[in-house]
């Protein structure tokens, strides 16, 4: 039973919002609630539209239901959510009963800004890859042409990548070229999955590790460079694949000028950042380190998302696990400065947590977050039937004047268990759309926060 619950939660929550990583940064927070006596340096960040009045917007409070039987929203399991410049909302997950004689299929849904299935996308709002019954999606995003990218694993636990056209059709040529490439065939046996992806004009970079839905820790981190037509970029690292055996996996990736920054977990279970150039070579950080680690982060920090603020600082978001893959773990974040040095002044002793809030939140193993106006950090929370966000100022301190002592919550009283799958900011950055999945009975809801 514990394994079934763990696999259900891992399916729902093992994500990182890759398409948001490295997006337009912001900075600010001079009027943050818990640090009004702090003098901040000049900032380019926009002020938050609502100031300290951030709140749940009752105009978007939507239970996702079938428009037609084949859309498969009667028993949904979502794993990731992201948005586009038209504020459409894309959700990745498992569709049950969408294909004849198939119990469950990896799928991508698109909803309009008001939470309705977008009939212009795929099959009435649903997109399926040709061999979807063998796939599980963990993450996704859009490329510069508006095409959807999805990453995860393919049975028997091999890295999976697929691309869909802007109208939701499988990109057959790209997907076939990726399959022919057989990436990581020389890495060795074991479970291999992709957890993060980011696109640029020349193709995509996906990152991953060698464990998924497993009680055993991963001992491998890797990055795969794929050209725009779907084949491996053989000019990147070794045959298109970069491998580090001193990591437990890489879970997010961001673009930084001509380099990529990988958000990973070190062998001693702390957040670690790697920088790679176009040829797949490691680039040392400004402090001279090749692998930037955060010694002030508690052991067991499971990085799942990488964000950046307007000062060029990197914020690693995840959860503090007591044991590997512990699903009852409090969400947390740490910050590195632009040179890769750990920032001990962020939060409390270098860690932003919910210390000081009345509530204690668990089941946030794959915590996701958004860095927005005034460099506030909006970090995902889940507990029982509740989902929501904790709001932190630019210094990593919980903004106790916001919501209920720094927390904004939604509720589904009929559910036995709730998981906040992801956060999709509007293209103006003034709202966040939250996608929550519930079990007992299975359901999903969209909520919107006004920032």
Looking at residue 13, its pLDDT comes to 39
Torsional sign, CA 178, 174, 8, 198? positive
What is the tens place of the pLDDT at every residue in 187-238? 655 678 899 999 999 999 999 987 544 445 557 899 999 999 999 999 999 9
Reported as type and span, the H/E element at residue 181 is helix 172-181
Looking at residue 359, its pLDDT comes to 56
Can you list the residues of the chain whose pLDDT is less than 50? 1-40, 212-215, 362-365
Looking at residue 11, its pLDDT comes to 42
- The answer to whether residues 93 and 25 touch, using CB atoms and an 8 Å cutoff, is no
Distance CA 442, CA 174 (A): 34
- The answer to whether residues 49 and 30 touch, using CB atoms and an 8 Å cutoff, is no
Strands (E), 201-330: 203-209, 221-227, 241-244, 247-256, 259-266, 271-276, 291-293, 301-308, 314-320
Torsional sign, CA 424, 152, 271, 332? positive
- Residue 106: half-sphere exposure toward Cβ, Cα within 13 Å: 28
The C-alpha angle 143, 255, 83, rounded to 5 degrees, equals 40
Distance CA 139, CA 160 (A): 11
Domains and CATH numbers, the chain: 2-450 (2.130.10.10)
Cβ neighbours around 276 below 10 Å, total:
21
Strands 247-256 and 77-83: unpaired
39: its two tokens: 């003098």
Looking at residue 33, its pLDDT comes to 31
Looking at residue 43, its pLDDT comes to 62
The whole-model pTM stands at: 0.87
Distance CA 302, CA 306 (A): 12
Could you tell me which of 78, 171, 179, 94 has the C-alpha nearest to residue 132?
A: 94
What is the tens place of the pLDDT at every residue in 30-41? 223 333 233 445
Buried-state track 65-104, b at ≥16 Cβ within 10 A, e below 16: eeeeeebbbeebbbbbbbbbeebbbbbbbbbbbbbeeeeb
- Residue 315: half-sphere exposure toward Cβ, Cα within 13 Å: 35
C-alpha radius of gyration, the chain, whole number: 20
Q: What is the DSSP letter of 217?
A: P
Distance CA 62, CA 113 (A): 11
What is the strand order of the sheet 126-128 is part of? 77-83, 89-96, 104-111, 126-128
Report the SS3 class of residue 12.
helix
């Amino acid at each position: 039973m514990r394994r079934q619950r763990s696999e259900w939660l891992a399916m729902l929550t093992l994500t990182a919002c890759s398409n948001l990583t490295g997006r337009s940064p912001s900075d600010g927070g001079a009027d943050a609630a818990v640090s009004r006596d702090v003098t901040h340096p000049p900032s380019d960040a926009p002020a938050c539209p609502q100031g300290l009045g951030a709140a749940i917007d009752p105009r978007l409070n939507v239970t996702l239901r079938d428009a037609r039987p084949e859309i498969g929203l009667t028993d949904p399991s979502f794993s990731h959510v992201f948005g586009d410049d038209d504020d459409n909302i894309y959700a990745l997950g498992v569709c049950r009963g969408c294909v004849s004689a198939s119990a469950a299929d990896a799928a991508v849904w698109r909803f309009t800004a008001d939470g309705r299935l977008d009939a212009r996308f795929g099959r009435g709002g649903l997109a399926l890859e040709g061999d979807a019954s063998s796939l599980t999606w963990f993450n996704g995003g859009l490329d510069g042409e508006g095409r959807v990218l999805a990453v995860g694993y393919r049975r028997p636990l091999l890295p999976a990548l697929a691309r869909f056209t802007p109208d939701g059709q499988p990109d057959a040529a790209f997907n076939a070229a990726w399959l022919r490439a057989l990436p990581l065939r020389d890495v060795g046996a074991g479970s291999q999955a992709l957890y993060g992806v980011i696109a640029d004009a020349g193709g995509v970079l996906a990152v991953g590790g060698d464990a998924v839905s497993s009680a055993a820790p991963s001992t491998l981190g890797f990055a795969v460079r794929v050209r725009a037509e779907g084949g491996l970029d053989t000019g990147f690292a070794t045959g298109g694949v970069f491998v580090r055996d001193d990591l437990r996996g890489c879970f997010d990736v961001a673009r930084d000028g001509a380099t990529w920054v990988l958000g990973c977990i070190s062998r001693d279970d702390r957040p670690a950042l790697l920088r790679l150039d176009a040829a797949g070579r490691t680039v040392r950080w400004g402090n001279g380190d090749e692998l930037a680690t955060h010694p002030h982060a508690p052991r067991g920090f499971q990085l799942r998302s990488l964000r950046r603020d307007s000062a060029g600082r990197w914020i690693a978001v995840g959860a503090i696990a007591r044991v590997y893959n512990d699903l009852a773990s409090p969400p947390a974040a740490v910050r590195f400065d632009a040179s890769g040095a750990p920032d001990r002044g962020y939060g409390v002793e270098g860690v932003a947590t919910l210390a000081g809030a009345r509530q204690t939140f668990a089941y946030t193993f794959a915590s996701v977050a958004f860095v927005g106006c005034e460099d506030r950090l909006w970090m995902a929370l889940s507990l029982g039937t509740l989902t929501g966000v904790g709001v932190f100022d630019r210094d990593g301190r919980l903004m106790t004047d916001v919501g209920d002592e720094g927390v904004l919550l939604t509720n589904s009283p009929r559910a036995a268990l709730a998981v906040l799958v992801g956060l999709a900011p509007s293209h103006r950055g003034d709202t966040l759309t939250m996608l929550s999945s519930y079990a007992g009975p299975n359901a999903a809801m969209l909520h919107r926060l006004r920032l």
